[in-house]
Amino acid sequence: MSQHLNLDRSQRECGGEASRRLLGPEGWLEPGVTCAKPDLKTEVHHLLKNHSAAEVVKAVMQEAAHRIEDAERQQKRATEDYNGAILQAMNNKPQNRGC
């Protein structure tokens, strides 16, 4: 296989070389679209034209693992933000000390 098979994260991001490649004659996007965010189904269909099913399955599994890791990181960040906000609110709460 002449090119390494990988569902590169850059293919899901706006701008850069990945966008220019995707906007080419085989393109997954219409002319004039500047953000390359093909869905996984479209990527798999394109890959199956040029690679074996086993290679595509491996790439899809790797992509799924990356997406799971991203979601877990986002969840952890959100939990930390939430807990931090609660602690801050508790520290800023006026104390009822009586008169």
**Cα–Cα distance, 64 to 66 (Å, whole number):** 5
The answer to whether the pTM exceeds 0.85 is no
pLDDT score recorded for residue 85: 92
Q: Is residue 2 part of a domain?
A: no
Q: Is residue 1 part of a domain?
A: no
Provide the domain limits for residue 74: 9-91
pLDDT score recorded for residue 80: 96
pLDDT score recorded for residue 98: 62
Domain count within the chain: 1
Strand partners, 35: 14
Q: Is residue 4 part of a domain?
A: no
Q: Is residue 57 part of a domain?
A: yes
**Cα–Cα distance, 50 to 30 (Å, whole number):** 21
| Residues of the chain falling short of pLDDT 70 | 1-40, 95-99
pLDDT score recorded for residue 46: 77
Q: Is residue 44 part of a domain?
A: yes
Q: Is residue 78 part of a domain?
A: yes
Nearest to 22 by CA among 42, 51, 3, 1: 42
Output phi, psi for 84, to 5 deg.
-65, -40
